[in-house]
């Protein structure tokens, strides 16, 4: 009887929360601009300003990069912190789960050779693919200022290369290397810290936070300093994204039995 009452109270509380959130969303939505409307600020003054002044203001030839790393640099920093917090949350929650029992090297070799990926062809193919992904990740990072790409994409590519190297079976199991879960989340934290440090450095040279043209580095022009600052921002984002993805991957792999 008490259990039924408890369930009813929980259901009533849940419905009340949903109702209040729905009413709040409707009320707030009335004050927000209509999505896709041509008379919204984003489609009138703001977009035209970015198109006309991005190169002169930020010295970045890619408008998308100029917006992400300069005009809305604070927002990008907070997004990076959200990525870090999501990794910490997953690591904290799943770390309480017991790890699956590991097989011996002989058992692992026998299992890999009978699995779908356990062949010399697949092993050799991924040995070729992983370095290519790493090279492409670096290309995406360093081209982020002048073309498509950036820190988020480069971080995902680096994590993808690690993922392939981690999950694809090797005939010599002892060569299989893996990162510790704690190392991954620490790396992600260092990436977010490097991003924030990039924003703080201009303050030591008379600039404001995230005023990348005031970085205290020797350079021929403000444009070069600004380009260096954007690259530093992208590097911080890349490290954070890669660290978070690797951490989540390791936590899941260490606590999941894929025989099921």
Give 64-97 pLDDT, tens digit per residue.
888 888 888 888 999 999 999 998 988 888 877 6
Q: Looking at the domain assignment, is residue 224 inside a domain? A: yes
Cα–Cα distance, 9 to 249 (Å, whole number): 38
Q: Under DSSP, is residue 178 helix (H, G, I), strand (E, B) or coil?
A: coil
Q: Which distant-in-sequence residues (6+ apart) come within 8 Å of 10 by Cβ?
A: none
Q: Looking at the domain assignment, is residue 17 inside a domain? A: no
Q: Looking at the domain assignment, is residue 172 inside a domain? A: yes
Q: Looking at the domain assignment, is residue 215 inside a domain? A: yes
Q: Under DSSP, is residue 100 helix (H, G, I), strand (E, B) or coil?
A: coil
**pLDDT at residue 109, rounded to an integer:** 56
Q: Looking at the domain assignment, is residue 40 inside a domain? A: no
Distance (Å) of CA 225 to CA 186, 201, 207, 215: 28, 12, 12, 6
Pull the structure tokens for residue 42.
């984003």
Which of the given ranges, 20-29, 65-74, 180-189, 195-204, has the highest pLDDT on average?
A: 195-204
Q: Which distant-in-sequence residues (6+ apart) come within 8 Å of 77 by Cβ?
A: 195, 196, 199, 210
Chain segment 221-248, per-residue pLDDT in tens: 777 888 888 889 999 999 999 999 998 8
E runs forming strands in 148-250:
none
**pLDDT at residue 47, rounded to an integer:** 79
**pLDDT at residue 174, rounded to an integer:** 42
Give the mean pLDDT of 182-208. 90
The mean-pLDDT minimum among 24-38, 188-202, 234-248 falls in 24-38
Confidence of residue 116 (pLDDT cuts 50, 70, 90): low
Q: Looking at the domain assignment, is residue 137 inside a domain? A: yes
pTM (predicted TM-score) = 0.75
**pLDDT at residue 221, rounded to an integer:** 77
Cα–Cα distance, 253 to 248 (Å, whole number): 9
**pLDDT at residue 205, rounded to an integer:** 85
Q: pLDDT over 90 for what percent of the chain?
A: 17
Q: Which distant-in-sequence residues (6+ apart) come within 8 Å of 244 by Cβ?
A: 83, 84, 86, 87, 184, 185, 188
Domain containing 108 equals 62-254
Count how many domains the chain has: 1
Asked whether the predicted pLDDT for residue 107 surpasses 80, the reply is no
Q: Looking at the domain assignment, is residue 27 inside a domain? A: no
Which of the given ranges, 35-39, 47-51, 174-178, has the highest pLDDT on average?
A: 47-51
Q: Looking at the domain assignment, is residue 220 inside a domain? A: yes
């Amino acid at each position: 009887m008490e259990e039924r009452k408890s369930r009813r109270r929980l259901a009533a509380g849940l419905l009340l929360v949903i109702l209040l959130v729905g009413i709040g969303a409707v009320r707030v939505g009335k004050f927000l601009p209509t999505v896709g409307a041509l008379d919204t600020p984003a489609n009138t003054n703001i977009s035209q300003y970015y198109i006309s002044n991005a190169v002169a203001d930020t010295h970045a030839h890619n408008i998308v990069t100029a917006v992400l790393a300069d005009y809305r640099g604070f927002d990008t920093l907070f997004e990076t912190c959200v990525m870090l917090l999501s990794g910490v949350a997953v690591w904290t929650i799943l770390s309480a789960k017991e790890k699956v029992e590991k097989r011996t090297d002989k058992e692992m070799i026998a299992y890999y050779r009978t699995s779908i990926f356990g062949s010399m062809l697949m092993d050799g193919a991924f040995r070729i693919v992983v370095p290519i992904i790493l090279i492409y990740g670096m290309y995406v990072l360093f081209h982020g200022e002048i073309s498509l790409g950036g820190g988020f994409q480069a971080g995902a590519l680096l994590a993808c290369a690690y993922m392939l190297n981690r999950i694809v079976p090797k005939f010599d199991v002892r060569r299989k290397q893996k990162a510790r879960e704690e190392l991954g989340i620490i790396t992600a934290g260092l990436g977010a810290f490097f991003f924030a440090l990039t924003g703080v450095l201009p303050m030591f040279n008379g600039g404001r936070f995230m005023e990348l043209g005031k970085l205290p580095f020797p350079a021929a022009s403000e444009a070069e300093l600004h380009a260096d600052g954007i690259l530093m921002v992208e590097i911080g984002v890349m490290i954070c994204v890669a660290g978070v993805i690797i951490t989540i991957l390791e936590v899941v792999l260490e606590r999941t039995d894929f025989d099921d």
